[in-house]
Amino acid sequence: MDQQKYEVIVLPDLQAISQAAAERLSQIALDAVSKRGVFHLVLSGGRTPETLYRLLSIPPFSSSLPWPQTQVYWGDERSVSLNSAESNSGQAWRTFLKDVPVPEDNIHRISGELEPRLAAEEYCDLLKSFSGQEGEWPRFDLIFLGLGDDGHTASLFPGPIRQEEKNSLVMAVTADYGDRPPSRITMTPLAINSARNIIFLVSGSRKAAALDAALNGPTDLEKWPVQRIRPENGRTVWLVDQDAGQDAGQDAWANL
């Protein structure tokens, strides 16, 4: 991976990376609102961001962030209803969105209850409706992403790269990952790689090999989908706890 374009920060544990993520989110949000009047934020699913989300639900973040100017999206969703425990948007709602003054009209969830291809088309249209002068979809100010121990991120899973992934903003996929719902809808690298900022949150020793592959290569986009995330003109920060960072080696960030 090009060393110029990313930064790796290793902190002791999940609490520490979550605190650092909340602080960075705050800086990026305030900067976006002061420059452009709006903050476009993309959330991830999975268990890792729950600690961050709970921090956002309480002061200082619940009161100091520019919530009324924040537009909230998801990088991926499972094909389940909003009230399912497996719903990424349901999780974010329960853990912080219900507690902060973000207008409900600013919350743009993926319709997990719809047939996945329809949900993908619907979300693609929604993203296009938010396009600004810079392109055909919003240039997100900040995208949070997680990392699976198989190297997936969002719902971009190992295997051949479909044509749809190269020319659609959002697509439906099926994936076998633990006991999680196999049917999903995901933003593609086309949408993700135009972000101004991407923050990966990575915690736990079972992520160590995937993290090492993401940071140190060799490049194998089919085996390690996380390597497909390379923002064209944005900044990537990896917030990693010590358990996850154990295999990546000091060389990965010695010169950063």
Amino acid at 244: A
- The contact mask relative to ligand 6PG for 176-195 (x = CB under 6 A, - = no) is ----x---------------
Select the residue interacting with ligand 6PG from 116, 146, 189, 231 (CB under 6 A). Answer: 146
Query: In whole angstroms, what is the distance from residue 129 CA to residue 122 CA?
Result: 11
CB of 71 to ligand 6PG, least distance (A): 19
Contact 214, 174 (CB under 8 A): no
Residue 178, class by beta-carbon neighbours within 10 Å (0-12 exposed, 13-18 middle, 19+ buried)? exposed
**Which CB sits closer to ligand 6PG, 69 or 184?**
184
- CA dihedral (17, 22, 23, 24) positive or negative: positive
Q: Does residue 112 touch ligand 6PG according to CB under 6 A?
A: no
Residue nearest to ligand 6PG (CB): 146
- By CB under 6 A, what part of segment 32-71 binds ligand 6PG? 44-48
Backbone angles phi, psi at 76, to 5 degrees: -160, 165
Binding residues for ligand 6PG, total number by CB under 6 A: 15
CB of 64 to ligand 6PG, least distance (A): 26
CB of 98 to ligand 6PG, least distance (A): 20
In Å, what is the CA distance from 156 to each residue of 6, 80, 113, 123?
A: 20, 18, 20, 16
**Which CB sits closer to ligand 6PG, 69 or 88?**
88
Query: In whole angstroms, what is the distance from residue 143 CA to residue 127 CA?
Result: 14
Q: Which residues pair with 185 in a beta bridge?
A: 77, 172
Residues that bind ligand 6PG (CB under 6 A): 44-48, 76, 78, 88, 146-148, 152-154, 180
